[in-house]
Amino acid sequence: MASERDISTAIKLSVLNTVLGALASQRSDDLIVVFPPTRPLLEERKSVLGIRYTNRLDIDTGTVRLNLRRASIVSQRSDALNIALELEGEGKIAVSGRYTGIPASSQPRVELVLRDTIAFRLRAGTRPGTIALYPQRRSVFLTATLHVSLLGWEIPWEERIPLQVEELISPVEIPALISTSIRIPMPARSFSDTRYEFVDTPVSLSNTGTLITPDAIRFDADVTFR
């Protein structure tokens, strides 16, 4: 589709995938999950020879760092990109409880995994000449797995924790596609062999628009010289 705006530029989706891949590999603490005290996490009522007791397991505290392992575009439509995300992390949490009436504590290793495909809407960025990807509101599930051994009580535990994606992931701003200044030739201010010199002239962008094509993101705008 031809653009009727003053300027138009595009970034190929293959290039954007390279940028997303670099984002996925450059950090090791993309998300920090803090486990609040949970009492009880598990409870098991028992009776032996008429004596009743309760086995219980509590989470006392814990922090796990999640790393972004993968971010890649898997499909697109005119106003959104579907991006496959994989976040993984592991750490230790402090647990305590009672088994056959005897108190005990442990620090088992917990694993967290989030794998999902999330739609990102395309909008103009906060800085002139940029565009940003905003995650679409929806729920995703973080899978938590741990195995606790407490005084011979073997406790496998797994839970899918619902999270809101817009609270989990910040908008991703793509570097400037269009400069907000243009170099214009002007008469040289001092006598020399050079008759002209190039001067940076600031411009304002208005009526900005974005469009996703099968192989690129296009950014259109009208230009006003300041």
DSSP characters over 169-225: S--EEEPPSS-SEEEEEEE-SS-SS--EEEEEEEEEEEEEEEEE-SSEEEEEEEEEE
Report if residue 162 sits inside a domain: yes
Structure tokens at 108: 């088992």
Report if residue 187 sits inside a domain: no
CA dihedral 56, 60, 65, 70 (to 10 degrees): 30
Report if residue 216 sits inside a domain: no
| CB neighbour list of residue 105: distance below 8 Å, 6 or more residues apart | 60, 94, 95, 96, 97
Please provide the distance, in angstroms rounded to a whole number, between the alpha carbons at the two ends of the chain. Answer: 29
Model confidence at 194, pLDDT cuts 50, 70, 90, reads low
For residue 115, what are the domain limits?
A: 7-39+55-177
Q: How far apart are CA 12 and CA 20, in angstroms?
A: 13
Q: Which residue has the tokens 């999640």?
A: 66
Report if residue 22 sits inside a domain: yes
Residue 39 has pLDDT above 60, yes or no: yes
pTM: 0.75
Report if residue 200 sits inside a domain: no
Q: Which residue has the higher pLDDT, 95 or 49?
A: 95
Domain count across the chain: 1
pLDDT more than 90, % of the chain: 29
Whether residue 40 has a cis bond before it, omega within 30° of 0: yes
pLDDT of residue 193: 64
Strands 196-212 and 216-225 turn out to be antiparallel
What amino acid is encoded at 37 in this protein?
Answer: P
Report if residue 105 sits inside a domain: yes
CA dihedral 72, 76, 78, 80 (to 10 degrees): -50
| CB neighbour list of residue 132: distance below 8 Å, 6 or more residues apart | 122, 123, 124, 125, 126, 171, 172, 173, 174
Report if residue 154 sits inside a domain: yes
Residue 197: HSE in the Cβ half-sphere, 13 Å Cα cutoff: 8
- Phi–psi pair at 126, nearest 5 degrees: -75, -25
Helix (H) or strand (E) holding 11: strand 7-12
Residue 179 has pLDDT above 80, yes or no: no
Residue 174 has pLDDT above 80, yes or no: no
Q: Which residue has the higher pLDDT, 187 or 137?
A: 137
Report if residue 19 sits inside a domain: yes
What amino acid is encoded at 19 in this protein?
Answer: V
